[in-house]
Structure 1
Amino acid sequence: MTRHGSHRPVRLLLVLVLLGALAAVLVVWGPSWSSRLTLEGIPALGPECVVQTAGGEVGLDRGEAQRATTAVAIRDRGQEADTSGIDEAVLQRLAEGPPGDAGPSLSCRGSAAGDLLEQQVTPTGLTPRAERLREAMADVFGDQDLGGFAPGGVNRAGESTHNDGRAIDVFFRPVTEENRRQGWLLAHWLVAHAEDLDVQYVIFDDRVWSARSSRGLWWDYDAPAPGNEILRHLDHVHVDVLRGNPG
């Protein structure tokens, strides 16, 4: 009994050390692991969308997120918008961004449709899905500085959704805090409406959101070299739509 009992403190110490090491790893790598796990379809619990406000997280269903992001965009253009039933703290955070940093404030679960058919490029240089997205943005945000597509198509190096006519760049130049705030108004609106508009990716300001993420978290965007303002998507919001399956 004495010999067996003497091993218990050592085993307990080893367990505590291993738990401590695991906790440290999760603190450092947790967000990265979370992003990778969600891409594998692990289901998430809780509200469909979340807004980080000064008072903490506020959960919204998708319809509420769509109403909130649309109202903020319309009010930013100096027009009246219906904000009844929407938490004022949500509207304020979406309109102003976090204090000192116009980064992401809203996240929504991804919901990529799996029954879409692949589409061909139209004379505008966009697929019908991408054209529908462009029209929806114009209805809410008015005239925008657009790029990334052209009649007859574009031919960018490597694999690019721009080459398929599925991507649009919305420019906010020069890179300033006000333009970053404006960019996030659009980025949040796109995420909230991603399910209805078949959005696949939204990339802006060193962040990326994916419709294939069941938790819908934003994560760091790994820009290719040389990592300038354009490649880091600091001066424009990139949005593309789902390809669909071959008919």
Structure 2
Amino acid sequence: MTHRAAVPPEDLRRRRAIMSAAFLLVLAVIAVLAFQWWRENEGRTSFSRPWGPSCSVWVDGERVPLDRDQARRASTAAAVIAQGDAAPIEAPDIEDIPDEVMTALVEGPKDDAGPSMTCRYPGEEVEFEEEEPSGLTPRATTLKEGIEEVFADSSIGGYVAGGYDSGHGEKSAHYEGRALDIFYRPVNEENRREGWLLAHWLIAHAPNYQIDVIIFDDKIWSTRYPSMGWRHYDADPDNEILRHLDHVHADVLRGPDPEDG
């Protein structure tokens, strides 16, 4: 019977030290590469840093940071400017907002309609609200009123008196009266750009209206992943409605239902 020679304790400790050093070296290399990738791509991704300013706008591939108040004023002003004389309110003061930021928000990306602003909001604790006879919860009603105050002739649906019990996906916020659909039809580039004006306003005002999810134009933003910004929304590629190409979906925070236990 063959016996293996015992490894001296000194050699064993040396091997463990080498393996630990190699492991730490690999982690360091990965961290450096990840940081380098972030620096090279931060102007081309929708991620928000989990620190620093709450919002940012992409301008010619560069990220311009904005605090929450600036984002609210900039997104509101962009909506007012784009609506022209039809705007129901006057634009707020934006003297501290760079001109190139406002251009990016009003006109959108040059190559195709899409997001120009992202913001970070992790949500908050709220109380559960029952549907009112209108088919909306009080929070959703407040959001509807806020949209109508800024956007003239908004085509808002996604709710019915007495509430929905079918017609939407499983566990949809529409069944609880927490969701609105704001329509931009037909689906074309002009309407998509108008829809993004609203989507930017919603993301900038998410804490004000306790918004939980925004979906539009193959993109989704949610409080569940507050630093990931606009993400791809996976839906049937042949269905414009499920892809939310013809409407902006917004739902408000739910809160724990006492009946859930």
* TM-score, length basis structure 2: 0.76
Equivalence map 1:134-149=2 (5 Å): 134-149=144-159
Amino acid at match of 1:122: E
3-state SS in 2 of match to 1:178: helix
Answer whether contact 1:204 1:232 (CA < 8 A) is retained.
yes
Whether 2:238 is the aligned partner of 1:232: answer no
Cα distance in 1, alignment partners of residues 169 and 66 from structure 2: 40
Cα distance in 2, alignment partners of residues 140 and 127 from structure 1: 21
Answer whether contact 1:54 1:89 (CA < 8 A) is retained.
no
Equivalence map 1:75-224=2 (5 Å): 75-79=81-85, 80-81=90-91, 82-114=93-125, 116-155=126-165, 156-223=168-235
RMSD: 3.0
Q: CA deviation at 1:216?
A: 4.7
Cα distance in 2, alignment partners of residues 230 and 45 from structure 1: 35
Q: CA deviation at 1:87?
A: 1.0
Amino acid at match of 2:112: D
Number of positions where the alignment pairs a residue of Structure 1 with one of Structure 2: 222
Closer, same or farther in 2 for the Cα pair 1:89/1:165, shift >3 Å?
same
Amino acid at match of 1:185: L
1:64 alignment partner in structure 2: 70
Amino acid at match of 1:146: I
Q: CA deviation at 1:63?
A: 0.4
Cα distance in 2, alignment partners of residues 139 and 153 from structure 1: 24
Answer whether contact 2:129 2:255 (CA < 8 A) is retained.
yes
Runs of 4+ aligned structure 1 residues displaced above 6 Å come to none
Closer, same or farther in 2 for the Cα pair 1:157/1:103, shift >3 Å?
closer
Cα distance in 2, alignment partners of residues 108 and 157 from structure 1: 27
Q: CA deviation at 1:181?
A: 0.3
Cα distance in 1, alignment partners of residues 111 and 188 from structure 2: 12
Contiguous gaps of at least 5 residues in structure 1: 1-11
Cα distance in 2, alignment partners of residues 111 and 157 from structure 1: 24
Percent of paired sites with the same residue: 47
Whether 2:255 is the aligned partner of 1:244: answer yes
Q: Deviations over 1:90-109 (max 9, x none)?
A: 11000111111111110101
Q: Which has the higher contact order (CA 8 A, sep 6+)?
A: 1
Closer, same or farther in 2 for the Cα pair 1:226/1:216, shift >3 Å?
closer
Cα distance in 1, alignment partners of residues 122 and 80 from structure 2: 25
Contiguous gaps of at least 5 residues in structure 2: 1-21
* TM-score, length basis structure 1: 0.81
Answer whether contact 2:237 2:243 (CA < 8 A) is retained.
no
Amino acid at match of 2:81: R
